[in-house]
Each structure stands twice: as C-alpha cells, then as structure tokens.
Structure 1
C-alpha cells in the first residue's frame, strides 16, 4: 500500500515527520483530507488542527496557524509560523 511522506514544520523546529496513510488539515477554503495519490496542490492553512494517521496506526494531532500545505508526489509538507504537537 502506498504511503505519504509527511513533514509538519514550525517556524523554528520540525514538529513531526514520518510516513502516513492520511492527513487531514484545515485550510482557508475548508477541511481537506489527503490520501496517497492525491493531486498536487498548494493551500493556505487556517488556524486549527492537523491530524495525521501514521502508517503504524498512531494518531498524531498538531495545531498549526499562519502557514501553508503542499502536496506533490505523495509528499505532504506543512509549514506554519506557529505549530506544535497536541499532547
């Protein structure tokens, strides 16, 4: 099964990176779900949660604001001025 290579990066550090089966993020146009094979896109993030389902089934939640989301060739990059993991 195909996977996504995901990086969630804040202004001063990488918050999380790894392989995942799904990413859900909030953009200024609404919530979006990304699965392997998703079309290339660039979106502006709205303040909210980014939810990642890792390949091992672990659920990772991060908050993100002031940034963008990029999808290309099963690589999802989320860059935010303010990002942190939710405990």
Structure 2
C-alpha cells in the first residue's frame, strides 16, 4: 500500500476561510461567519458582505491573497475586516 502525502492547511488561509464561511447562498455559512465575527469583535452585525468572493482554490498557498469582509453594525458604522496570515499581525 502506497502512503500518500497529506498536507494540512491552516484555517487562516484566505481560501479555506472563504470556502468555509463566505458563501452568500449558504445560510449556515453566513450564520457561522456572523457568530465568528460577533464573538471575536464583541459587536452585533447588521450586515456582512464579502468584498472579493472570487478567490481560487488553485492558489491556496499564496501569501498575498486577501479576503476582505465589510461588516455594518446597527448604527450604520462599517468595519472592514482582513484576514491576516502572519504570527505578527496586529
């Protein structure tokens, strides 16, 4: 039996994050994304929009890809969220 190489990708990868949580048509994805953002930022999301939904799975290892999400809170204030894939992110 031949052992295959298995590679585990980090959830911080923009592509994996996008395919897990950013599907506008999937209620469960949107619900989980909302819970994720509200839990980390301690805010109430009124609207969530993925600004660049066309990330390609062919570039899962690219370091320069950006997944931007724009969140609107009840007051109308907009918050831009960018996934950072670095141990030195601020």
Q: TM-score, normalised by structure 1?
A: 0.35
Q: Considering Cα pairs closer than 8 Å and 6+ residues apart, tell me whether 1 or 2 has the greater RCO.
A: 1
Bigger helix fraction: 2
Q: TM-score, normalised by structure 2?
A: 0.34
Bigger strand fraction: 1
